[in-house]
Each structure stands twice: as C-alpha cells, then as structure tokens.
Structure 1
C-alpha cells in the first residue's frame, strides 16, 4: 500500500517506520528539519518529500500534525478528493493542555468540513506513541490491544483497520465521525494514565463485552 505521512513527529515517524517495516511504500513529509525527513526515510527504506509528493496517488494518508498546523498542511495538500485520510491529530491548544474544540463538534468533524471530498477516519489519537513499538514486537502473540476507529466511509475504515492490524492493534469500531466529539476528550484521560500515573507511557487498552 502506498502511504503518505504528513507530519514527522512522534506519531508520524513511529507509525511510518513500522508500516515501512511491513513492506508498505511510505513517504514522509512535513518537517521543519529536512535532515530529519532524510534520516527517517534512510532508516526506514522509505521516501521523503513535499506534502504534494507524499499525498499524490496515496492509498492512505496519515495526518499527524499539531492542530495549529492543520490549515498550512491542507493548503499544501489540495482538495484530497477521494483519498483515505487517517487522522490522529487532536484539537489542542499550543501548550497541549486543553481541547479547543469539543462536545458540539470535534476536530475530526472540522477537518471533514475543511476537505469534504476526502474520506476521513479518526484513529490512533487516544493511543500513546510509546506503545507502538512494543505492540508491534508482540504482534500475533496474544489478544491485541485496541484502537478506536470512527468515520462515515466504510471502505476508508476497512483500509484503516488493515493498517491498524499491521501495527499489531485491533480496530475497535466506534461508529460515525460524529462520535469523535466524545472520543477525542478521552485522549486527555490516556495522557493522565500514560504520562502522570506510574507505570510508564506505553499504555494500551482493550474493551470486552461480558457474556452471560
């Protein structure tokens, strides 16, 4: 699968590396440090380039930038018509301490309004990046931890689910994109659990329905 990574911080770099390790054709883009993009590509056997290069003809695009960068990114990406976009960006303030969008809408819904012809899926934004490598290393060994997946396009969610399985997680179907307004605030609880409470940041979760 051809995957464009837009944003090469913790989320984009780690997921891009692992997808490249699975054999996907990965292109990293959008970093203030060109040398970092080159290093990521060299270390992963991937490519690097502009946002336009990363997104052109991509089977899936990962949007992994700070909320303050979204407008800049979308202006460079074009209309993204018909393309599958996995959004892991959260609508946080500059200090990453408060949600700036919520309850009556969500960051995911606002992105869909900005590029209505794209096929949006919200995922990975409630999962600390520190969990990716250990989950990948344990892939197939036990019950997989879960990642919330919400969106209005079934085909796009199926693409996202396949890429989530490649990392070693299980996609947890969480309904339409509207439900992102309830899922995104949950990320603040995972921040508390991963980075404030003891035990380390490699936090995962799995929901189960009990059988009578």
Structure 2
C-alpha cells in the first residue's frame, strides 16, 4: 500500500517506520526541516517530498500534524477528493493543554467540512505514540489492545482497519465521525494516564463486555 505521511513528529515518524517494516511504500512530507524527511525516507526505504507529491496516487494519507497546522497542510494537499485520510489529530491549543473544538462538534467533523470529498477516518489519536513500537513488537500476542476508529465511509474504515492491524492493535469500531465529540476528550484522558501516572507513557486500553 502506498501511504503518504503528512507530518514528521512522533506520530507520523513512528507509524511511518512501522508501516514500512510491514512492507508498505511510505512517503514523508511536511516538516520545517527537510533533512528530517530525508532521514526518515533513508531509514525506512521510503521517499520524501512535498505534500502534493506525497498524496498523489496514495492509497491512504495519514494526517499527523498539530491542530494549528491542519489548515496549512490541507491547503498544500489540495481537495483530497476520493482519498482515504486517516486523521490522528486531536484539536488542541498551542500548548496542548485543552481542546479548542467541542462539545457540539469535533475536530474530526471540522476536518471533514474543510475537505468534504475526502474519505475521513479518525484513528491512532486515542493512543500515545510511545505505545506503537511495544504493541508492534507484541503483535503476535493475544488479546491485542484495542484502538478506536470512527468515520462515515465503510470502505475507508476497511483500509484503516488493515493499517491498524499491521501495527498490532485490534481495531475497535466506534461509529461515525461525530464520535469524535466523545473520543477526542477520551484522548485527553489517555494522555493524563500516560504522562501523568507512574509506569511510563506506553499506555494501551482494551474494552471487554462481560457475559
């Protein structure tokens, strides 16, 4: 699968590395430091380029930038018509201390309004990036930790499920894009637990229904 990684921070870099390890063709784009993109491309056997180059012909696009940068990166990406876009952004203020969208809408819904012809799925935004490599290393162990995904396009969700499974999570269906109204605050809870409690930030979760 050809995957465009828009953003070279912790989320984009880690997911790009792991998807490359699974055999996917990754292209890294959007960084203040072009050398960082080139390094990631060299490290993974992928490529680096502009946002427009990365999304052209991509089977999936990962949007992995700070919320304050979403307008800029989407402008460079174009209309994204028909493309599967995995959104892992949480709509945070500049110091990441509070949500700036909600409660009667969500970042997921606002992005869909900005690019209504894209096929949006939100995922990876409820797990700290520090968990990705340990989960990947344990992907043959069951039960796998859950990872929520939500969106309104079933076909796009199928793509997301496959890429979530590649990392080592069990995809957890959580409804339409409006689930972001509840999942984005939940992401803040996972951040508090990951970074504010003992034991390190590699936090995962799993929901089980008892019989």
Return the offset for 1:21. Answer: 0.5
1:183 aligned to 2:168? no
Number of residue pairs matched by the alignment: 211
Map 1:101-112 to 2 at 5 A: 101-112=101-112
Matched, 1:206 2:206: yes
The Cα shift of 1:141 comes to 1.6
Alignment deviations for residues 3-43 of structure 1 (CA, whole Å, 9 cap, x no partner): 00000100000000000000001000001011111111101
Specify the alignment match of 1:125 in structure 2. Answer: 125
1:180 positional shift: 0.7
Q: What residue number does 1:136 align with?
A: 136
TM-score by length of 2: 0.99
Shift of 1:145: 0.5
How far, CA to CA, are the matches of 1:90 and 1:102 in structure 2?
11
| Partners of 1:57 and 1:170 in 2: CA distance | 27
Deviations 1:124-147 (A, max 9, x none): 101000000000001112211011
Aligned to 2:23: 23
1:12 aligns with 2:12: yes
Q: Give runs of aligned pairs for residues 66-77 of structure 1, distance below 5 A.
A: 66-77=66-77
Provide the alpha-carbon RMSD of the alignment.
Answer: 0.5
**TM-score normalised by L of structure 1:** 0.99
Which residue is 2:49 aligned to?
49
Structure 1 residue ranges, 4+ long, deviating more than 4 angstroms after superposition: none
State how far apart, in whole Å, the 1-side matches of 2:178 and 2:65 are: 21
Gaps of 5+ in 1: none
